[in-house]
């Protein structure tokens, strides 16, 4: 990489951070931060003579650049509504959870997972550059089930559309991709210029030891629906997300051994959220709990990466038959969604439901292009919901991949075994593929 390229990449990162900082600090995109929000942070900027300060000049300049940059692109208006608690001073970026229905289930990808970010290390949230914005390193997830807190949608138009369709709490959108925000994120239209969006997923829950610790009032990063960017040349599997900071009580998504770990010093803050029902530590995935800051589905979730949440693989008992109209539609969807002549539904089924944090590249290879914004997957999803199983519609419906897809499945299975993952083929004898033909 040349020095000129490095300087260009560095400038892009500076501009991206500045754009978000300007939006939050100065209320660009036509909105202003609500009274009472981030008072502590604001006070640092309201200094004598601040109107002539370089900082304010930089913010005004950045706002003008931002307006020019998005003039021909999708619109975005920063959401300062008191979404979860109308009578409080907690806006959307406080990431408030009031009840389980607030979590809207979606499926697609790629997306970012910031739930475990905060301390110095591989996933820090650095707030040293801007008192109102944290730069958080987050895990990139190639494809899968994810959830959006309806109270924490950062674009006000998307929030209002979603609330109108799903109800104030999200109770009308508890099936995957039924919420407007899912469609907008899957089409990557939530935030102009972002590579992907931060949401919640159970991916990596076992590896990261998901849990919960309640922390007293302090600054934390509200990363739900924050914009995220891939860093040029970075192959670590992480992305940088620009998360608004909020000052209030919060819960961390891990079980902290010492309450002092709530505070990470002057440079770092936790990526966190706040469940209004929480009154202490509520760790683990053992049982449904209204106090936690992760989803608590009533039943199993097809294709979910966490075994404590996911529906089982095939075989399962079901009344669906290959002759049913729904199954015939599902097989058509498998055949019609292709990339480079590979039927993506089959390759994704062969990897997604046995994947781990160490093979997101394989999931991306297998599922890339399967995004609901580009492919019709309604019948496949419906089969899995009715049968309550994961990555199983092709087995239930008797859908058969073509020869090229069979070879791709075989190669993906071998690659899974190489990183210590047991593919479906070795579990239930399905989706085994066929060895590539020798030229």
Do 116 and 202 belong to one domain? yes
Lowest mean pLDDT among 39-53, 121-135, 165-179, 180-194: 39-53
Domain membership flag for residue 302: no
Residue 346 has pLDDT above 60, yes or no: yes
- Average pLDDT over the chain reads 81
Q: Mean pLDDT, to the nearest integer, of 324-334?
A: 97
The better pLDDT of the pair 328, 20 is held by 328
Strands 111-113 and 103-108: unpaired
Residues 155 and 191 in one domain: yes
Please check the confidence at residue 35 and state whether its pLDDT lies above 50: no
Residues 127 and 66 in one domain: no
Q: Determine the average pLDDT of the residues in 168-193.
A: 93
Q: Is residue 13 part of a domain?
A: yes
The stretch 263-268 carries a mean pLDDT of 92
Q: Are residues 131 and 266 in the same domain?
A: yes
Q: What percent of the chain has pLDDT over 70?
A: 78
pLDDT at 357: 78
Residue 299 phi/psi, 5-degree rounding, is -130, -170
Query: What is the residue range of 22's domain?
Result: 3-70
Q: How far apart are CA 40 and CA 377, in angstroms?
A: 47
> Is the distance from CB of 425 to CB of 433 less than 8 angstroms?
yes
The answer to whether the beta carbons of residues 181 and 104 sit under 8 Å apart is yes
Beta-carbon neighbour count of residue 419 at 10 Å?
A: 12
The model's confidence at residue 116, banded by pLDDT at 50, 70 and 90, is very high
pLDDT of 211-251, one tens digit each?
A: 899 999 999 999 999 999 998 766 668 999 989 889 999 99
Q: What is the pLDDT of residue 414?
A: 96
| Residue 364 counted as domain residue | yes
DSSP state of 335: H
Indicate whether 271 and 338 sit together in one domain: no
Summarize pLDDT for 132-143 with one digit per residue, the tens.
889 999 999 999
pLDDT confidence of residue 231: 84
- Looking at the domain assignment, is residue 435 inside a domain? no
Helix (H), strand (E) counts: the chain: 13, 13
Whether the pLDDT of residue 183 is over 60: the answer is yes
Of 36, 70, 104, the one marking the end of a domain is 70
From CA 364, how far away is CA 367, in angstroms rounded?
Answer: 5
Q: State the average pLDDT over residues 350-377.
A: 85
Asked if residues 391 and 352 have their Cβ atoms less than 8 Å apart, the reply is yes
> Percent helix, strand and coil across the chain, each rounded to 5?
35, 20, 45
Nearest to 364 by CA among 375, 351, 374, 377: 351
The pLDDT value recorded for residue 61 is 31
Given 275, 290, 310, the domain boundary residue is 275
Length of the chain: 439
Verify that 261 and 222 share a domain, yes or no.
Answer: yes
Tell me, yes or no, whether 351 lies in a domain.
yes
Please tell me whether residues 112 and 44 are part of one structural domain. Answer: no
Residue 271 lies in a domain: yes
Q: pLDDT tens digits for 119-170?
A: 999 999 999 887 788 999 999 999 999 999 999 999 999 999 999 999 999 9
Same domain assignment for residues 170 and 244: yes
pLDDT value at position 68?
42
Q: Do 104 and 215 belong to one domain?
A: yes
Give, for 346, the enclosing helix (H) or strand (E): helix 344-351
73 touches 193 (CB < 8 A) = yes
Task: Identify any residues that bridge with 103 across adjacent strands, giving them in sequence order.
Answer: 149
Distance between CA atoms of residues 73 and 68, nearest Å: 10
Total domain count, the chain: 3
Does 64 lie in the same domain as 101? no
> Tell me, what's the pLDDT at 266?
86
Say whether both 361 and 238 belong to one domain. Answer: no
Identify the burial level of 389 via C-beta atoms within 10 angstroms of its C-beta, where 0-12 means exposed, 13-18 middle and 19 or more buried: buried
Residues 147 and 264 both lie in one domain? yes
DSSP assignment, residue 81?
A: S
- Give the Cβ contact number of residue 401 at 10 Å: 23
Q: Report pLDDT digits (tens) over 309-324.
A: 899 999 999 999 999 9
Compare 101 and 80 and report the one with higher pLDDT.
Answer: 101
Residues 6 or more apart from 10 whose CB is under 8 A from it? Answer: none
Note whether residue 80 is domain-resident: no
Among 7-11, 96-100, 334-338, the range scoring the smallest mean pLDDT is 7-11
Residue 84 forms part of a structural domain = no
Confidence category of residue 60, pLDDT binned at 50, 70, 90 = very low
| Least reliable range by pLDDT among 70-84, 185-199, 219-233, 365-379 | 70-84
Give CA–CA dist 37/192, Å, rounded: 24
């Amino acid at each position: 990489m040349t020095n000129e390229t490095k300087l260009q990449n560095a400038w892009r990162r500076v501009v991206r951070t500045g754009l978000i900082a300007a939006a939050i600090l100065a209320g660009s995109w036509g909105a202003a931060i609500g009274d009472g929000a981030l008072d502590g942070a604001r006070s640092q900027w309201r200094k004598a003579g601040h109107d002539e300060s370089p900082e304010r000049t930089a913010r005004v300049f950045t706002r003008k650049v931002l307006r020019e940059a998005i003039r021909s692109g999708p619109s975005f208006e920063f959401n300062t509504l008191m979404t979860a608690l109308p009578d409080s001073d907690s806006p959307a970026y406080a990431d408030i959870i009031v009840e389980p229905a607030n979590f809207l289930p979606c499926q697609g990808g790629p997306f970012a997972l910031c739930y475990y970010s905060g301390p110095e290390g591989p996933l820090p949230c650095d707030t040293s550059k801007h008192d109102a914005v944290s730069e958080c390193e987050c895990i990139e997830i190639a494809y899968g089930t994810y959830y959006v807190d309806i109270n924490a949608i950062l674009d006000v138009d998307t929030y209002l559309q979603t609330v109108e369709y799903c109800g104030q709490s999200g109770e009308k959108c508890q099936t995957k991709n039924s919420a407007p925000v899912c469609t907008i994120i899957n089409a990557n239209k939530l935030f102009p210029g972002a590579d992907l969006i931060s949401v919640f997923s159970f991916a990596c829950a076992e590896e990261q030891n998901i849990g919960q610790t309640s922390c007293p009032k302090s600054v934390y990063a509200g990363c739900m629906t924050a914009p995220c960017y891939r860093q040029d040349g970075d192959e670590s599997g992480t992305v940088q997300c620009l998360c608004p900071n909020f000052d209030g009580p919060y819960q961390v998504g891990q079980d902290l051994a010492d309450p002092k770990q709530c505070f990470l010093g002057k440079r770092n803050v936790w990526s966190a959220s706040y469940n209004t029902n929480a009154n202490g530590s509520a760790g683990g995935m053992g049982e449904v709990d209204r106090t936690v800051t992760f989803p608590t589905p009533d039943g199993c979730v097809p294709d979910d990466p966490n075994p404590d949440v996911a529906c089982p693989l095939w075989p399962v008992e079901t009344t669906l038959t290959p002759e049913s109209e729904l199954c015939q539609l599902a097989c058509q969807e498998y055949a019609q969604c292709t990339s480079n002549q590979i039927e993506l539904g089959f390759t994704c089924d062969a990897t997604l439901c046995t994947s781990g944090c160490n093979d997101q590249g394989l999931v991306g290879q297998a599922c890339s292009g399967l995004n609901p914004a580009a492919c019709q997957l309604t019948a496949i999803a419906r089969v899995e919901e009715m049968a309550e199983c994961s990555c199983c519609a092709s087995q239930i419906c008797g859908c058969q991949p073509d020869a090229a897809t069979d070879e791709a499945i075989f190669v993906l299975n071998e690659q899974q075994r190489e990183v210590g993952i047991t593919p479906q083929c070795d579990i239930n004898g399905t989706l085994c593929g066929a060895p590539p033909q020798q030229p």
